[in-house]
Amino acid sequence: MHMQTPLSLDAIYEAAFLTDGDFKIVDCNCRAVEVLRALNKDDLVGRKISDFPSDNEPGADFPTYFQERLTAVPFVVVESRFSRHDGSQFWAETVAHRLSENAHLITIRDISARVESFQRAEEANERLRAAIRDRMEFVSNVSHELRTPLTSMSYALTNMLRGICGTLPGKAVEYLERLHVDVKRLMTTVNDLLDLRQMENGTLMLRCHYIPLGRLLAETINALKIQAETKHQTLQLLPYDCERYVYADHHKLERVFFNILSNAVKYTPENGCITARLYEQNGFVKIEVDDNGIGIPAHALPRVSQRYFRVGEHIAGTGLGLSIVREITELHGGTFKVESPVPATQHGTRITISLPVSQSPNTVIVSDSPHFVEDITAKLSPIGHVFQTAALNKTLPEQLATGKTPARILFDGDLPDEQIIDAVCKIQRHPSLSLVPILVLTDKIEPLVKREYAKWRVDIRPKIISPADLCDLVRG
Ligand code: ATP
Ligand code: MG
């Protein structure tokens, strides 16, 4: 006996079953007969929907699974293997709708084609991943092979340029210099490739120290000055209020800045302008590099920091620079952002790097003169150190050893030399202080005293020193 419903099941495209409260089939449409390869509806009516699903959980216990969920939601969807009347199987998407207390509508769609193509795509993806792994493997093997000869070429070129083979004609020097630039560029690429490989398999070791970012940025800008001047570009670092420190790998960060700034020089036409800025915001040091060059099209922005991605082929490159920038920055707990055009303008590119700011190093000033301390801290304010004042007494080394290890100890040379030397000697014998550089600022450098200080590797400088020189000395 077929239940009468206002809904004609044959009007439904999917295989459709009407079941009672226990999921026993009371009616179905022709499509259901076709999909389940039954002879007619009578083959199906009277059977339980749980007779059909195969192995796959939760399909294995359809009724319980549906029952539990259908009290809370109007329908439930399950993807599972399904057995046909003839025992063959297919992938099905089964939807159970609750019509009333004792009536359910179940539809089944054959999704074998979709599942198979998904599986094929997954397999293709895996093959692609394997191919990429192989390519990376190959590239890093080749890079390794290249590094040794490149290093010796660079060494030979440096020696020849230093005159080890005698004075060379001007033209030869010019060619050697060009060669050297190219060899160094190749070495950078080779190192980039090796770093990428190590980042990929998680073996890249960072050698972290407290790095003064402003200084590192200024040095990188200096290294690129000639390149920018050749293109008549302005390349500048805007003045910043005080030095900021991050705990980072010096060489890796240098590479980050170099890649960003050399891109700015490369993708900015003649007479362009490149400006770097450094500031602190919410516990992060931000380095922002703006250029007014060719910019990056909006569609390419999300991809520029992917490996090997490049926009156009008119300027040579490998497309690795920004991926190194992003990956190294992230490895340091920072973030990378690219914007084009530069906000509030119509052209150029802005790259922003954010790195977690670290504690500043501390310099201990040993003096009993407030005037000396004031003068020194004022001169040293740009380096962003934390200053701590200490008195010269017998317990000084112990005092210094209990707090955070100082980055540098600076003595007021007006204090008695014998007492300073005594303190220096104890400091240098102390296991946690032995490597701390010591500086004495004095007006009275006598040869004997000087020799005594030299024995203890103490740096002695005149008290009348320019702020810039003192900053350089203390930063080391
Ligand atoms: P290399 O690996 O030698 O650095 P590259 O410069 O092409 O090669 P990336 O530094 O990764 O590679 O940069 C990726 C792409 O992003 C570049 O090809 C360029 O199209 C675009 N791009 C990067 N920086 C800038 C910029 N400052 N202005 C305009 N386009 C840029
Ligand atoms: Mg680049």
273 with 292: CB under 8 angstroms? yes
Q: How far is the CA of 333 from the centre of ligand 2 (A)?
A: 22
CA distance 349 to 85: 64
Domain extent, residue 167, equals: 128-201
β-bridge pairing 459-462 and 408-412: unpaired
**Which of ligand 1's atoms lies nearest the C-alpha of 264?**
27
The per-residue pLDDT for 314 is 72
In terms of domains, do 241 and 326 share one?
yes
Closest C-alpha among 94, 98, 115, 101 to residue 49: 94
State the DSSP code for 3: P
Q: Is the CB of 291 under 6 A from ligand 1?
A: yes
Instruction: Return the pLDDT at 269.
Output: 96
Cβ–ligand 1 contact at 306 (below 6 Å): no
Residue 117 located in a structural domain = no
The two tokens of residue 140 are 């890093």
Q: Are residues 231 and 258 in the same domain?
A: yes
Same domain assignment for residues 385 and 443: yes
**Cα 318 to ligand 2 centroid, rounded to whole Å:** 7
DSSP 444: -
Residue 193 near ligand 1, beta carbon < 6 Å: no
> What is the pLDDT, as a whole number, of residue 1?
47
Tell whether 85 and 194 lie within a shared domain.
Answer: no
Question: Is 224 in contact with 263 (CB distance < 8 Å)?
Answer: no
Q: Does ligand 1 come within 6 angstroms of the Cβ of 296?
A: yes
Tell me, yes or no, whether 421 lies in a domain: yes
Both 197 and 215 in one domain: the answer is no
Plot region of 207 (φ>0 → left; ψ -120 to 50 → alpha; else → beta): beta
pLDDT at 18: 94
Give the per-residue pLDDT at 281. Answer: 94
List the chain pLDDT tens, one digit each, 476 residues.
455 556 688 889 999 999 998 889 999 999 999 999 999 999 999 998 888 765 555 445 777 788 888 888 888 888 888 888 888 889 999 999 988 888 999 999 999 999 999 999 999 999 999 998 888 788 878 888 888 899 999 999 999 999 988 999 999 999 999 899 889 888 888 888 888 888 887 888 888 888 889 989 999 999 899 889 999 999 999 999 888 999 999 889 999 999 999 999 999 999 999 999 999 999 999 999 999 999 999 999 999 999 888 887 777 777 888 999 999 999 999 999 999 999 999 999 999 999 999 888 889 999 999 999 999 999 988 888 889 899 998 888 888 888 788 989 999 999 998 899 999 999 988 888 888 999 999 988 778 888 888 888 898 998 888 888 898 888 76
| Total length of the chain | 476
Both 352 and 366 in a single domain?
no
Distance CA(71)–CA(347), nearest Å, equals 59
The closest alpha carbon to 213, from 360, 2, 91, 22, belongs to 360
Q: Establish whether residue 28 lines the binding site of ligand 1, counting it when its CB lies within 6 angstroms of any ligand atom.
A: no
Among protein residues, the one with the nearest Cα to ligand 1's atom 24 is 263
For residues 402 and 350, state if they share a domain: no
pLDDT of residue 59: 47
- Ligand 2 midpoint to CA 254 (Å): 14
Burial profile 19-54: b = 16 or more Cβ within 10 angstroms, e = fewer: beeebbbbbbbebbbebbebeebeebbebebbebbe
CA distance 316 to 272: 19
Of 201, 232, 247, the last residue of a domain is: 201
Judge if 429 and 466 occupy the same domain. yes
Q: Is the CB of 256 under 6 A from ligand 1?
A: no
In this structure, the answer to whether residues 455 and 370 fall within a common structural domain is yes
* One domain, residues 159 and 239: no
Tally of domains in the chain = 4
Angstrom distance (rounded) from CA 357 to CA 244:
7
